[in-house]
Each structure stands twice: as C-alpha cells, then as structure tokens.
C-alpha cells in the first residue's frame, strides 16, 4: 500500500492543529485544578524510578522516565471522563495496580534477577512452594516501600476534600476538553519518546528476551504492556508468524545441520546404563574452595579428576531455573523467552535424550524428592520421554532438610529403585534430581560439621605474635552455602558407594551437572575475597589489596560443574567454553545416538564455542559479552575483531530466536509431520 501526498498533508495539518491546541491550553488553571492528577503522575513516576534504582540501577536515565511519564499521562487523561468528586477512585485503583507491580517486581527481581511477567503468574506459585527460602529471601521490608504511594494519595484526597477543593474545581472545567488536552499531551510525550529510540532498542522490545534491558530503556509500564501483548501471543501463535518461523527454522537447519562427527569418544558408551545427577545449585566455586585444606566437595573433585571434566561449563537457565536446566540438558534447546517451557509449553513435542535412548531399547526414569507438581514435572517429564517420574509420593520422607527429602535418604531409596529397574531387560537411563543444596542454605545444623573459619596471625597488646581464628564466613549465606554444598557432596560420595556395592557401577556411566548457580549476591563474594581478619571487617575500597568482584567476574563465577564418569574412562579436562545446550550433543555421540534438532555442539569437536544466555549475553573462550551494555570483557590477550563480536551477537540472537520459535510454534512436531507426508 502506498501513502499518497494528500495523506501526508492531511496528517501534517492534523498534527499542527493538535500542537496548536496544546500551546493554547491555560496551564495555570490546568495545574491548579489538577492536583490529584499531578500527584498521581509524580508519585507513580517516583515509584517506578525507585524500582529501577533497586534493580537495574539507571534511575536518572531520560528515556525510561519519559516512557513512564507518557504512559502515566495517557492513563491519567481518562480520569477526566469521570466527575471530579469521583475521580479519586480511578486514580486509586491504578495506584494500587502500579504499586503492586513495583512490589511484585522488587521481590521477583531479588529472586530471579529479572522482571515478572504475566506469563509467569504460574511461576510465582512455584516461588510460594519453596517455603522458607521465600520467607528469608523474597520477603524483604524494602520491597514494600512502594506502599507509601497509595497511602499518600489517600491523605492528599482527604485534605483536598476537607478544603472543599472538589466543589470548587467542578465549576471551572469542561471535562471533555480536559480529557482531550491531557491525552494530546500524553500522545505528544509518547511520540517524543518513540523518536528518541534507536532501531536496536525497538528490535529488542519486540523480542523481549532481555527484560532488564527493556525496563532500563522503556521504563516499567511500557515493559508490562509489551509483556502482556507478548504473553498473549503464544495463544494466537498458530494465527500469526507461523510461516515465517517455519521458514527460518528450515533455513537454519539447512545451513547448520552438522551430521554426527566421529571423535575418540564416539560410541564408547553405547548400550551402557546412564545415571544423570542433577546437582542442585552446585557452582564450580564450591569445587575450588577449601578450608584448612579440607575441600568443600572432595567427592566431586575426585570424580572430576577421574572422569571427563568439562571445567568451563555454564548453565543457560532463565526464570525456570531447575526446570530450564532439565529442559536444556535433555533437548539441546534454550529456555523460552516468555513464560517457562515446563509450565507454558508442556504440550509441545520435543526430541529428547530419553526418547533417543528409548529408541535403543532403554528404560527411562527420573526421580526427585519433591512434589510432582513442582515445575509441572509430573506432566513434563512424561513429555520429555521418561517412562516414569518418581516424585515425593514414591519415597518414604524419613529425613527432611530444606525443601523436603534429604539427598542422603533420596539417594539411598533411589539406589534401591535402580537395582529393581536394572533387573528389567535392556539398559536404563535415570535422572536423579537433588534437592537439599537449595537456597536459603540455612539448615546448617543438619549439614554436619564443616567449619568455614580462617586462622591468622596477629600481634597482641604486648607485641607478641599470636595465632587467632576468624569466624568470618560463619553465619553468612556464602558460608552456609559451602556447608550445604559439602553435605550434598557427601551425599554424592554415599551414592557412589551404594551404587558400587549394588554392582551398578560396572556397566553404568554417571553424568553430573550443576543446574544453575547458587544465587549468592556479589556482596557476599566481595566479603569473602576482601576480608581482613585483623580488623574483622571487609577491606576499605581504597586499600591496594581490595579486589572488587565486578559484573564480569560475578557472571564468570556462575560457572557450574559438568562431569562424565565411568569406572574405566581415562581422565581428561576439557576447557573449551560450553553451555548446558552442548551437553546432549556431547553425550549422545558417546552413546551412539544423534539428535538432528540439537542447537549445541559436541564440544569434543569444537576449538571455540558460543554459549548464548537467555538474556542475550554470550560467552566464548575469548570473550564475555554483555548484551545490555553492548560491551565485552576479553578473556585472553588475543586481539578481538569487531567482526568476531558482531558475528557472535548475530549468532547468539539467531539461536535464541530459533529455539524460541521451535517451542512456541511446535516446529519439531510440524517438521516431522511434514516429513511423514512427503
Ligand atoms: C524443586 C527444586 C528446586 O523441586 O528442583 O527448583 P529451583 O528453585 O532450583 O528451580
Ligand atoms: Mn535448581
């Protein structure tokens, strides 16, 4: 459709008349008679800025303030359709909605380091299920400071009423005119806002996979309107965008299908039993930390030193945390950008490791000591291809720590079940999902003795050198985490012994993956790395020995372990950067199976590898790229070309989009159906 010259002229003159009307408004009268309206705008603007200050930290940026302002003025404009005396109710209802958004996002951000979404309402119930963790970590006083806004509105309204303000202004205004003028101002602000955006920013709004970025650039309210639209999109996915998504999908696999590549590990585990251990919140930092020469994770360290140890492995979870790890591990796809796969897309078809192994005659089971409804596992594990999912009701809950059944009891009972499963014909594939090492790590008395203190030398008042002990990590979240990780590791040690005693280790490979980091704050790491025992405090930031954990250090530290172990495998350490989505391609080559829809790579064949994260950040051996800031940290001394960065930015984006389309549009199923038809 082409736009004629006449249309442009008409549009121009319309704009001119709107701007003239705005110019001719009697502003003095306007402000005097709009006190509630003004208070509504300003107080909500303050709240959204406080939220940004507490989360993405760009509270003085012009763009999100303008975005929020335009939105609030437009919403506020409709209040003038209501009589002055009753208008307060309108402001109040919206104030409650906006305050609730701030409170929810503040809590949500603290937990997930992301903003909430309508599509994640179901996920919020999962938070409620994590009990104590919620009370100690989600419910913070600071999340409720936004409540001052509706309280202030009530006070203001009452005081204006007492002064007879509403009777007075009723005579002075024409409501229709006022509504129109205000709407025009809101519209003009919105146009200015849109004009200030770059095409990159608009592109990211439409994708919505970096929520932080969208709130940073567009403000809270536009983020939520966009989120609402995006969350409804899957409901209409069959109506819109399918053809384009399917074409992109076909093109992607035409250009990227690397058929199986032989390497020294190809088929070495063909036909063996496989036990995958989902090692809850196990972060590599636990494996690399010792106190008094005692390792936090001696068993995992021994397993890593005997098996194939992938020491540069990253989880790629989004807000679906554990469930996203289970999804990516079993499919080599990435988490979806709206909602979570386990809850919002449990009915799509996925080609998974359990399904691939079932085709080879395997029995497939998964086990977890929590409720089957948590993360919708009882439904989704079936869809992932597990013959049976053993959940809480299949175990005797004889010892509880944290979220439920203790790992030690879980492993003891799981081994008994595996012995029975092993009696069946053919090999088995089992996934054991651990539970104890889960935030908030505060049941310290149940983890067993593990001191997280430090000995140091100091000088007493007589000038003598004396030995002393600092309790520095005792009672901190990080210290408690190490104690909890030590417990989980000791449970793993017991599992190995039990499996061996049951004769299950001779023909079985074990796979360990850390599902995601332990969500411990930067502040805690700063304390550990900069602790001064003599003064029993953190070093001063000006101290030459002060080494701040910055954004990149923190992100790189979120690394988790990935180990493939069998009794007779020769040890090797693989240091190539890899993500959870590379696990399936790497393992399946060893097991003699292949998934043509995998997005990751068999890491044994890769010299450099791209690890995209759901927020658009990515990592290779050479670079960690920060998508929000569009900057990167080089990880080697090698010079980095602009082409290297832009090619990987594009590739990371492509992978996230293809994966998202596969999930939302059910493309694998549709592709297989088409192949069958042909
Ligand atoms: C719950 C457990 C924890 O059953 O897997 O889930 P998370 O909070 O880590 O996603
Ligand atoms: Mn988890």
pLDDT tens digit sequence for 163-208: 888 887 765 668 888 899 899 999 999 999 999 988 778 877 776 6
* Lookup result for tokens 């950008």: 337
Same domain, 217 and 348: no
Ligand 1, CB within 6 Å, residue ranges: 130, 321-322, 370, 374, 403, 433, 435, 438
Q: pLDDT tens digits for 265-293?
A: 999 999 999 999 999 999 999 999 999 99
* Residue 267 φ/ψ region, left for φ over 0, alpha for ψ in the -120 to 50 degree band, beta for the rest: left
Residue whose CB lies within 8 A of the most ligand 1 atoms, among 120, 322, 432, 514, for a mutation test: 322
> Given pLDDT bands bounded at 50, 70 and 90, which one contains residue 545?
very high
How many whole angstroms from 325 Cα to the centroid of ligand 2?
8
How many whole angstroms from 282 Cα to the centroid of ligand 2?
9
Among the atoms of ligand 1, which is closest to the Cα of residue 374? 4
In 3D space, the residue among 385, 389, 394 whose CA is nearest the CA of residue 367 turns out to be 389
CA distances from 141 to 8, 138, 207 (A): 54, 10, 33
With 50 as the cut, is the pLDDT of residue 1 above it? no
* Lookup result for tokens 């080494």: 547
Residue 630's contacts (CB-CB under 8 Å, 6 or more residues apart) are none
How many whole angstroms from 81 Cα to the centroid of ligand 1?
48
How many whole angstroms from 514 Cα to the centroid of ligand 2?
8
Residue whose CB lies within 8 A of the most ligand 1 atoms, among 435, 441, 580, for a mutation test: 435
> Given pLDDT bands bounded at 50, 70 and 90, which one contains residue 210?
confident
The total number of structural domains that make up the chain? 2
User: Among 207, 236, 265, which residue terminates a domain?
Assistant: 236
Residue 10 belongs to some domain of the structure:
no
When comparing pLDDT for 561 and 135, which is higher? 561
Residue 78 burial by Cβ neighbours in a 10 Å radius (0-12, 13-18, 19+): middle
Q: In whole angstroms, what is the distance from residue 562 CA to residue 311 CA? A: 7
Protein residue with least CA distance to atom 3, ligand 1 = 322
- Count of CA atoms in the C-beta half-sphere (13 A) of 647: 9
Among the atoms of ligand 1, which is closest to the Cα of residue 129? 1
Protein residue with least CA distance to atom 9, ligand 1 = 322
Can you give the CATH number for the domain in which 581 is found?
3.40.720.10
Residue 618 belongs to some domain of the structure:
yes
**Residues in a beta bridge with 563:** 309, 512
Same domain, 121 and 207: yes
pLDDT, position 655: 97
DSSP string over 55-82: TT--TT-HHHHHHHHHHHHHHHHGGGGS
Structure tokens at 559: 């690394």
Domain that holds residue 71: 15-236
Residue 195's contacts (CB-CB under 8 Å, 6 or more residues apart) are none
pLDDT, position 676: 76
In 3D space, the residue among 390, 332, 343 whose CA is nearest the CA of residue 366 turns out to be 390
Residue whose CB lies within 8 A of the most ligand 1 atoms, among 131, 281, 321, for a mutation test: 321
Residue 212 belongs to some domain of the structure:
yes
Nearest ligand by distance to the CA of 369: 1
Q: pLDDT tens digits for 596-631?
A: 999 999 999 999 999 999 999 999 999 999 998 899
Q: pLDDT tens digits for 640-650?
A: 999 999 999 99
Residue whose CB lies within 8 A of the most ligand 1 atoms, among 127, 131, 277, 280, for a mutation test: 280
pLDDT-above-90 percentage for the chain:
73
Q: In whole angstroms, what is the distance from residue 410 CA to residue 495 CA? A: 9
User: Among 203, 236, 269, which residue terminates a domain?
Assistant: 236
pLDDT-above-70 percentage for the chain:
92
Nearest ligand by distance to the CA of 280: 2
| Choice among 205-219, 327-341, 480-494 with the minimum mean pLDDT | 205-219
Same domain, 318 and 199: no
> Given pLDDT bands bounded at 50, 70 and 90, which one contains residue 557?
very high
Nearest ligand by distance to the CA of 402: 1
Residue 241 belongs to some domain of the structure:
no
Same domain, 176 and 290: no
How many whole angstroms from 48 Cα to the centroid of ligand 1?
30
Protein residue with least CA distance to atom 6, ligand 1 = 322
In 3D space, the residue among 318, 311, 384 whose CA is nearest the CA of residue 347 turns out to be 384
With 70 as the cut, is the pLDDT of residue 137 above it? no
Q: In whole angstroms, what is the distance from residue 104 CA to residue 456 CA? A: 44
Among the atoms of ligand 1, which is closest to the Cα of residue 515? 9
- Decide the pairing of beta strands 290-291 and 294-295: antiparallel
Mean predicted confidence (pLDDT) in 65-73: 97
pLDDT, position 173: 61
Q: In whole angstroms, what is the distance from residue 59 CA to residue 195 CA? A: 21
Same domain, 209 and 285: no
Residue whose CB lies within 8 A of the most ligand 1 atoms, among 374, 402, 560, for a mutation test: 374
Q: In whole angstroms, what is the distance from residue 473 CA to residue 451 CA? A: 9
Same domain, 219 and 261: no
User: Among 213, 236, 259, which residue terminates a domain?
Assistant: 236
Same domain, 230 and 250: no
In 3D space, the residue among 329, 231, 207 whose CA is nearest the CA of residue 584 turns out to be 329
Protein residue with least CA distance to atom 7, ligand 1 = 322
pLDDT, position 234: 64
| Choice among 311-315, 376-380, 427-431, 472-476 with the minimum mean pLDDT | 376-380
pLDDT, position 177: 84
**Residues in a beta bridge with 562:** 310, 513
Q: In whole angstroms, what is the distance from residue 611 CA to residue 587 CA? A: 17
How many whole angstroms from 322 Cα to the centroid of ligand 1?
5
Same domain, 32 and 111: yes
How many whole angstroms from 90 Cα to the centroid of ligand 2?
42
pLDDT, position 237: 63
> Given pLDDT bands bounded at 50, 70 and 90, which one contains residue 344?
confident
Among the atoms of ligand 1, which is closest to the Cα of residue 278? 5
How many whole angstroms from 321 Cα to the centroid of ligand 1?
7
With 90 as the cut, is the pLDDT of residue 376 above it? no
Among the atoms of ligand 1, which is closest to the Cα of residue 324? 10
Structure tokens at 9: 């002229």
Among the atoms of ligand 1, which is closest to the Cα of residue 280? 9
Q: In whole angstroms, what is the distance from residue 505 CA to residue 565 CA? A: 10
Residue whose CB lies within 8 A of the most ligand 1 atoms, among 112, 130, 518, for a mutation test: 130
**Residues in a beta bridge with 432:** 277, 367
User: Taking the alpha carbons of 111, 117, 123, 129 in that order, is the dihedral positive or negative?
Assistant: positive
Residue whose CB lies within 8 A of the most ligand 1 atoms, among 114, 370, 488, for a mutation test: 370
Residue 7 belongs to some domain of the structure:
no
In 3D space, the residue among 43, 37, 59 whose CA is nearest the CA of residue 219 turns out to be 59
Same domain, 286 and 176: no
3-state secondary structure of 291: strand
How many whole angstroms from 318 Cα to the centroid of ligand 1?
13
Structure tokens at 478: 């990080």
Same domain, 26 and 87: yes
Among the atoms of ligand 1, which is closest to the Cα of residue 404? 4
* Residue 42 φ/ψ region, left for φ over 0, alpha for ψ in the -120 to 50 degree band, beta for the rest: alpha
When comparing pLDDT for 45 and 677, which is higher? 45
> Given pLDDT bands bounded at 50, 70 and 90, which one contains residue 138?
low
Q: DSSP code of 530?
A: T
How many whole angstroms from 340 Cα to the centroid of ligand 1?
13
Same domain, 250 and 188: no
Nearest ligand by distance to the CA of 371: 1
Protein residue with least CA distance to atom 5, ligand 1 = 322
How many whole angstroms from 373 Cα to the centroid of ligand 2?
15
> Given pLDDT bands bounded at 50, 70 and 90, which one contains residue 2?
very low
Q: What length does the chain have?
A: 678
- Decide the pairing of beta strands 404-405 and 400-401: antiparallel
| Choice among 159-163, 263-267, 299-303, 420-424 with the minimum mean pLDDT | 159-163
Structure tokens at 257: 């299908």
pLDDT, position 30: 74
How many whole angstroms from 422 Cα to the centroid of ligand 1?
28
Among the atoms of ligand 1, which is closest to the Cα of residue 321? 10
Structure tokens at 350: 């996925």
In 3D space, the residue among 486, 489, 478 whose CA is nearest the CA of residue 521 turns out to be 478
Same domain, 202 and 264: no
Mean pLDDT for all residues in the chain: 91
Residue 386 belongs to some domain of the structure:
yes
- Dihedral Cα 584, 587, 588, 590, nearest 10 deg: 170
Residue 1 belongs to some domain of the structure:
no
Q: Are 587 and 511 contacting, i.e. CB atoms less than 8 angstroms apart?
A: yes
How many whole angstroms from 321 Cα to the centroid of ligand 2?
6
Alpha helix locations (H) across 196-339? Answer: 199-207, 211-218, 220-232, 242-256, 284-287, 298-306, 321-331
- Residue-wise burial string across 574-613, b where 16 or more C-beta atoms lie within 10 A, e elsewhere: bebbbbbbbbbbbbbbbbbbebebbbbbbbbbbeebbbbb
Protein residue with least CA distance to atom 4, ligand 1 = 370
Residue 346 belongs to some domain of the structure:
yes
When comparing pLDDT for 557 and 168, which is higher? 557
Among the atoms of ligand 1, which is closest to the Cα of residue 433? 5
């Amino acid at each position: 459709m082409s736009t004629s010259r006449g249309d442009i002229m008409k549009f121009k003159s319309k704009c001119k008349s709107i701007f003239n009307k705005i110019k001719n408004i009697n502003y003095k009268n306007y402000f005097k008679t709009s006190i509630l309206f003004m208070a509504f705008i300003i107080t909500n603007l303050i709240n959204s800025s406080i939220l940004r200050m507490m989360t993405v930290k760009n509270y003085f940026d012009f763009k999100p303030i303008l975005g929020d302002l335009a939105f609030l003025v437009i919403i506020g404009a409709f209040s003038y359709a209501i009589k002055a005396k009753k208008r307060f109710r309108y402001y109040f209802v919206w104030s409650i909605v906006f305050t609730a958004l701030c409170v929810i996002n503040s809590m949500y951000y603290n937990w997930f380091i992301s903003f909430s979404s309508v599509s994640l309402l179901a996920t919020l119930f999962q938070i409620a299920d994590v009990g104590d963790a919620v009370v100690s970590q989600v419910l913070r006083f600071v999340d409720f400071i936004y409540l001052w806004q509706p309280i202030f509105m009530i006070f203001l309204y009452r005081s204006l009423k007492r002064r007879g303000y509403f009777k007075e202004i009723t005579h002075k205004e024409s409501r229709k005119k006022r509504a129109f003028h205000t709407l025009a101002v809101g519209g003009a602000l919105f146009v200015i806002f849109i004009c200030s955006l770059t095409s990159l920013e608009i592109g990211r709004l439409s994708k919505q996979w970096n929520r932080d970025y969208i709130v940073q650039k567009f403000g809270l309210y536009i983020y939520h309107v966009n989120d609402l639209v995006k969350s409804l999109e899957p409901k209409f996915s069959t109506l819109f965008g399918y053809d384009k998504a399917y074409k992109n999908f076909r093109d992607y696999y035409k250009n990227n299908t690397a058929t199986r590549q032989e390497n020294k590990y190809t088929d070495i585990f063909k036909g063996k039993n496989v036990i995958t251990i989902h090692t809850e919140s196990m972060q590599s930092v636990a494996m690399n930390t010792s106190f008094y020469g005692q390792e936090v994770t001696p068993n995992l360290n021994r397993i890593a030193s005997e098996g194939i140890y992938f020491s540069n492995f990253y989880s790629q979870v989004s807000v679906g945390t554990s469930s996203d790890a289970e999804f990516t591990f079993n499919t080599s796809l990435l988490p979806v950008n709206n909602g979570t796969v386990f809850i919002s897309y449990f009915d799509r078809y996925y080609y998974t490791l359990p399904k691939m192994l079932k085709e080879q005659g395997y029995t497939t089971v998964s086990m977890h000591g929590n409720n089957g409804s948590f993360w919708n596992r009882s439904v989704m594990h079936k869809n992932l291809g597990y013959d049976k999912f053993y959940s809480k009701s299949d175990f005797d809950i004889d010892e509880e720590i944290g979220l439920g059944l203790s790992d030690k009891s879980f492993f003891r009972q799981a081994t008994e079940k595996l012995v029975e499963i092993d009696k069946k014909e053919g090999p088995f594939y089992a996934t054991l999902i651990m539970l104890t090492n889960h935030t908030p790590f505060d049941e310290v008395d149940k983890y067993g003795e593990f001191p997280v203190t430090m000995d140091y030398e100091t000088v007493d008042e007589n000038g003598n050198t004396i030995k002393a002990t600092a309790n520095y990590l005792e009672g901190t979240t990080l210290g408690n985490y190490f104690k909890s990780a030590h417990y989980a590791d000791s449970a793993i040690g017991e599992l190995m012994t039990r499996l061996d005693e049951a004769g299950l280790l001779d023909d079985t490979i074990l796979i360990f993956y850390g599902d995601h980091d332990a969500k411990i704050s930067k502040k805690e790491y700063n304390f550990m790395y900069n602790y001064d025992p003599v003064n029993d405090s953190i070093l001063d930031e000006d101290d030459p020995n002060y080494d701040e954990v910055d954004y990149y250090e923190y992100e790189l530290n979120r690394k988790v372990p990935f180990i493939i172990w069998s009794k007779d495998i020769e040890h090797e350490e693989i240091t190539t950067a890899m993500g959870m989505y590379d696990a399936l391609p790497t393992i399946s080559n060893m097991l003699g199976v292949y998934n043509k829809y995998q997005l990751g790579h068999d890491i044994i064949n890769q010299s450099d590898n791209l690890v995209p994260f759901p927020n658009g950040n990515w990592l290779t051996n050479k670079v960690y790229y920060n998508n929000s800031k569009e900057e990167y940290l080089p990880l080697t001394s090698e010079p980095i070309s602009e082409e290297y960065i832009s090619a990987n930015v594009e590739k990371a984006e492509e992978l996230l989009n293809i994966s998202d389309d596969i999930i939302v549009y059910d493309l694998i199923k549709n592709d297989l159906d088409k192949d069958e038809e042909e």
